[in-house]
Amino acid sequence: MTDPTNVLLLLATTNPGKLREMVDILLDCAHTAPLTDRRLTIVSPGELGKRLQVAETGQTYAENAALKAQAFCEATGLITLADDSGLEVEALGGAPGIYSARYAPQPGATDADRRALLLDRLADFPRPWTARFRCAVCVAAPGLPPLQVEGDCPGEIIPTERGQNGFGYDPIFWLPELGCTMAELPDTQKNQISHRARAIRAAWGLF
């Protein structure tokens, strides 16, 4: 990561909601803590015509993030940032965890399907349904060992969806200290306090 004039950073995701969040968080980092004498240029796999399918075979968020970051770094020769994240619900023993994005078994399952399945499995447990979002970020660069950081965001699961922003489990993830769900937050606020925001902001120091 020694280019004296420019940091070209590939974000290893094809999830449009996640990509938008990552870009917004990184641009805010660049605005509030600019790189000394360097400029950040962010690119996506789509912009490069790269459509890698990386099997997420890791047993932890960190392992999956590293698999994605290293695969895209090797394929492009670019500094690559990847994340893996999930929702952990205490009553379900930490599920869905690393399987959050593929929690519903049916082909073509949507975010709404996954939320519905989660609420169905929680129905017999007493509330509050305490939970947390977790995120691991890996930065891989050619010829260097991967660097990793993590972030989390505690909250609760509620039985009724609220809010139109965000994606995934955001409409049922309640933030008690703010009195709203993650999906009710404006993007600017979510990108300050979310698990992904906390991990990416920690990763910013790696540049």
Active centre residues (catalytic): 84
**Residue 158 near residue 172 (C-beta atoms within 8 A):** yes
Neighbours of 119 (CB within 10 A): 16
Among 203, 78, 81, 83, smallest CA distance to 142 is for 78
- Tell me whether the omega of the peptide bond preceding residue 128 falls within 30 degrees of 0, making it cis: yes
Exposed / middle / buried, residue 66 (Cβ in 10 Å: 0-12, 13-18, 19+):
buried
